[in-house]
Amino acid sequence: MTAPQPNAAPTFDRRMLEALVCPQTQTVLEYDAESQELISKAANLAFPIRNGIPVMLRDEARVLE
């Protein structure tokens, strides 16, 4: 196991996906590592992950095009 880098941003724990669902549709989410978002295809929304913590608020979500 490697030690965390002192200045590295916290990473999202993928095991959280098992417990998290879309707050609008109650459907499963997909993790987009590149954009650091949780995607709800059913709601057409992307929820941001900030400092390793998913922000599951509709007002904070980005509408997908």
DSSP annotation string for 47-61: EEEETTEE---GGGP
As a whole number, mean pLDDT of residues 43-55 equals 95
* More confident call, 11 vs 30: 30
Domains and CATH numbers, the chain: 14-63 (2.20.25.10)
Place of tokens 């941003």: 9
What does pTM read for this prediction? 0.81
| 25 burial type by CB count under 10 A (0-12 exposed, 13-18 middle, 19+ buried) | middle
The per-residue pLDDT for range 21-38, each reduced to its tens digit, is 999 999 999 999 999 999
User: Given this model, what pLDDT does residue 28 score?
Assistant: 95
